[in-house]
Structure 1
Amino acid sequence: MEKLYILLIVHVEENEIIDGEKAPENSMLYMASLQSKGGHVCGGFLISEDFVMTAAHCQVPDNLTRVVLGTHNIKNVDEGKIRYIEKMYKHESYQNVGTGKDIMLLKLSRKAELNNKLQTIPLPRSEIHLGDNTKCYVAGWGFIKTGGGVVNELRVVDVSVINPRVCREMWGGVPDNVICAGGYKTKKGFCQGDSGGPLVCDGTAVGIVSFNWEKNCNYPDKPNVYTDVSKYLPWIKTILKRTKRSE
């Protein structure tokens, strides 16, 4: 695994969607843009009125300050769509993407108002095991080509789940508790600026965008890798309960 760590650590600034399309209006109403003073940094998704889920590596190097909710276009955002970040709960064992546990919860300073423009997305209820070639999708505001820039309008692409054994072979090893989908034997997948966004299968957020191959989005060399949300359900519930008690 030592070789793997070296390969992955170099990529972690932020992870647009490759070979995708603009997301239809009134779809994916749970998507969140995590921003610093410089603008969009990472993706995320609303799991409750006051919590957004994202990747742990999104905390560095940018200083995340706010979350934009309920819009597909992040260029023109009114104050009502902005929520400031009250606290970040990064998984306590996270070190870098190469060692896994790339998951973080963001407590919002003010609850989101759910309506026909803003919704939460459900998480798995128990541990899941996705079958090979399961059709899912991933969305974000990231690059649409290697070395590009983030976009203003949300884009989405469908991806297929890749067998874990094949994924390990292609990477020479991957962290525990991950899902591989897209980016291998296809031109479809995520790119820089998409990190933290959800892998959605059958209407459920099953994964979190974690890493690709050294910022190279010109596939099909390596599968895209996501944190498997279902493996962290106890940790997620603990954080949500702890914050509820302190309110």
Structure 2
Amino acid sequence: MLICILAFTAHGTEIINGKKVPDRLMLYVASVQNNKGQHMCGGFLISEDFVVTAAHCDKLVVLGTHNLEKVDDGTMRYNVTRCKHPDFNSVASGNDIMLLKLSKKVQLNNKVQPIQIPKGEMKVKDKAKCRVVGWGYTRAGGKVSNVLEMAEVTLTNRKECAYVSKSISAKCCITDKTYQALLSSQGDSGGPLVCGATAAGIVSFNRECDPNIPNVYTDVSKYVSWIKKIRTKLLID
């Protein structure tokens, strides 16, 4: 199941320049990296053992910092066991979700804390305020930010993004069009869409940061049973 993000003019220059995440907030956000230690995707910690990200992302995890220029490899970087959703084929076809089992338990403290995920079907009201967070490009064609940034989005009805794909059953969001260049570009896939205190969605894909085309998020509530099943299996193994 997917959630679409539709561009809408709103907050102006405040979003263009980005909004830095305070060090004490959003301690669940993870950087999912390649073997060279390069940031590829976002992710989010849901327990001492597990991070959720998009199925098309990479295989190392960094936790405990909002600044990717300040990473202690010995305490912040984790190897993982990857488990993609079995029905994932491509980002456009859905099921873009992956569970990562960390090589060792995270020590929860004032720098690292998990976020809750839905316990079942999650029905978020239209016009509810949610947040998106990540280290992606600060503008189309620009550089990736090394500092964690966030933007606010507002939920709307699914008719607004029905044109994305007739085969997609989706919720929709309206957001500032500069947000799409700021927080939904390459580098932010896998990061969370946070509604209240819950990770409701996972950044899946967008269309070249085009502010006139919706971005697409995986609806976490549709995969709660799968997450529970895989967590149990991986802990036993």
Q: TM-score category by the smaller chain?
A: 0.7 to 0.9
Aligned-partner SS, 2:57: helix
- Separation in 2 of the partners of 1:124 and 1:69? 22
1:81 to 73, 76, 81: 76
Closer/same/farther in 2, CA of residues 117 and 241 from structure 1, 3 Å limit: same
1:206–1:228 CA contact under 8 A, matched in 2:
yes
Distance 1:233-1:196 versus aligned 2 partners, 3 A rule: same
Cα distance in 2, alignment partners of residues 239 and 41 from structure 1? 24
Cα separation, 1, equivalents of 2:231 and 2:38? 28
Partner of 1:167: 161
| Letter paired with 1:51 | F
Q: Distance in 2 between matches of 1:143 and 1:243?
A: 34
Cα deviation for residue 162 of structure 1 reads: 2.8
1:231 to 203, 206, 222: 222
Matches of 1:57 and 1:100 in 2, distance apart?
11
Offset of 1:163 from its aligned partner?
1.5
Equivalent position of 1:146 in the other structure: 140
TM-score (norm 2): 0.86
- Tell whether the 8 Å contact from 1:94 to 1:102 is kept in structure 2 after alignment: yes
Matches for 1:115-126 after TM superposition, within 5 Å: 115-126=109-120
How much does 1:172 deviate? 4.0
Partner of 1:4: none
Measured against aligned partners, the alpha-carbon deviations of 1:136-159 in whole angstroms (never above 9, x if no partner) come to 000000001112221110000001
Match of 2:24 in 1: 26
CA distance in 2, matches of 1:174, 1:182: 20
Shift of 1:38: 5.0
5+ long unaligned stretches in structure 2: 1-14
1:198 is the counterpart of 2:197: no
Deviation string for 1:109-149 (max 9, x for gaps)?
A: 11110011110000011101222221000000000111222
Query: Which amino acid counterpart does residue 83 of structure 1 have in structure 2?
Result: Y
Question: In structure 1, how many angstroms separate the alpha carbons of the residues matched to 2:55 and 2:89?
Answer: 9
Equivalent pair of 1:50/1:110 in contact (CA under 8 Å):
yes
Q: Where does the alignment leave 5 or more consecutive residues of structure 1 unmatched?
A: 1-17
The within-5 A match list for 1:213-224 is: 213=207, 215-217=208-210, 219=211, 221-224=212-215
Task: Check the 8 A contact 2:160/2:172 in 1, yes or no.
Answer: no
Contact 2:134 2:149 in 1 (8 A): yes
* 1:209 pairs with one of 199, 203, 210: 203
Q: Residue 6 of structure 1 corresponds to which residue in structure 2?
A: none
Mark the CA change 1:174 to 1:129 in structure 2 (over 3 Å): closer, same or farther: farther
Q: Which residue does the alignment assign to 2:105?
A: 111
Query: Matched residue of 2:117: which SS?
Result: coil
- Deviation at residue 179 of structure 1 after TM alignment: 4.0
The alpha carbon displacement at 1:88 in A equals 0.6
Q: What residue is the counterpart of 1:129 in the other structure?
A: 123
> Which runs of at least 4 in structure 1 moved beyond 4 Å after TM superposition?
none
How many angstroms apart in 1 are the aligned matches of 2:167 and 2:205? 11
In structure 2, the CA distance between the partners of 1:207 and 1:179, relative to structure 1 (3 Å rule), is: farther
2:182 counterpart of 1:187: no
What's the TM-score, normalizing by structure 1?
A: 0.83
CA distance in 2, matches of 1:211, 1:196: 9
CA RMSD of aligned residues (A): 1.6
- The whole-number CA distance in structure 1 between the counterparts of 2:63 and 2:56 is 20
Give the AA of the match of 2:75. Answer: G
